[in-house]
Amino acid sequence: MQYTGSRYVGEFVDGRMEGSDAEYTLPTETKYVGEMKDGMFHGQGTLYFPSGSRYEAVWEKGLVVEGTYTFSDKLQYDAKHWHYCDGYDRRFFTERCDGLKAPGIAQLTNMDPPRKIPEGCYDCGDGFYNPTTRVVKDYKNRFLRSAGREACCRPDWKSRDC
């Protein structure tokens, strides 16, 4: 695991990750909690994503047998009956749950109230880009990446990389 940057907490059988109480964290901070067999996800297990969403599934030899994806706002994905932001209903999930705002009060994102963007910065989807420092920090103000001088000088940089 030291070679890939992943972390594992759990039992080993014959040098392979195995057990019902396994915890495997990827370098992206995506975390799997559940059963493992022969070094693979096997049995009941959940992938927890840094965004707050999760994928609960039954796994067999590392492959999903069946599962359910739940977004960070508790909206559950249902491929057969998906009615969120489709051609018929363009409301945000929070609007479907809590109702529409009064006329004249716009809701521009699913977050209500929306995230505050620091003065002079841009929301990149995973954090805020500050063009003065050429740095992207996550929403908890932790460093994510630095934008090189060449990248920031291209006119399409923000739309392409941020």
Least confident of 1-10, 90-99, 132-141: 90-99
pLDDT of residue 13: 93
CA–CA gap between residue 43 and residue 11 (Å, rounded): 15
Does position 16 have pLDDT exceeding 90, yes or no? Answer: yes
Q: Please write the tens of the pLDDT for every residue from 39-63.
A: 999 999 999 999 899 999 999 999 9
pTM for the complete prediction? 0.57
pLDDT for the residue 155: 52
How would you label 6-20 residue by residue, b for 16+ Cβ within 10 Å and e otherwise? Answer: eeeebeeeeeebbbe
Confidence of residue 123 (pLDDT cuts 50, 70, 90): confident
Taking only the tens place, the pLDDT of each residue in 128-140 is 899 999 999 988 8
Q: What is the model's pLDDT at position 149?
A: 57
Assess whether pLDDT exceeds 50 at residue 152: no
And the tokens for 6? 């992943």
Among residues 2, 48, 50, which one has the least CA distance to residue 23? 48
C-alpha angle 47-137-1 in degrees, rounded to nearest 5: 40
- CA 62 – CA 43 distance, rounded (Å): 9
The mean pLDDT value of the chain amounts to 83
* Rounded Cα gap, residues 157 and 83, in angstroms: 34
Instruction: Round to whole Å and give the CA distance between 12 and 16.
Output: 5
For residue 98, the model assigns a pLDDT of: 78
108 pLDDT higher than 90: no
Residue with tokens 């977004």: 71
Residue 140 confidence (pLDDT): 87
Q: How far apart are CA 33 and CA 44, in angstroms?
A: 9
CA distances from 37 to 19, 30, 112 (A): 6, 19, 42
Q: What's residue 83's pLDDT?
A: 66
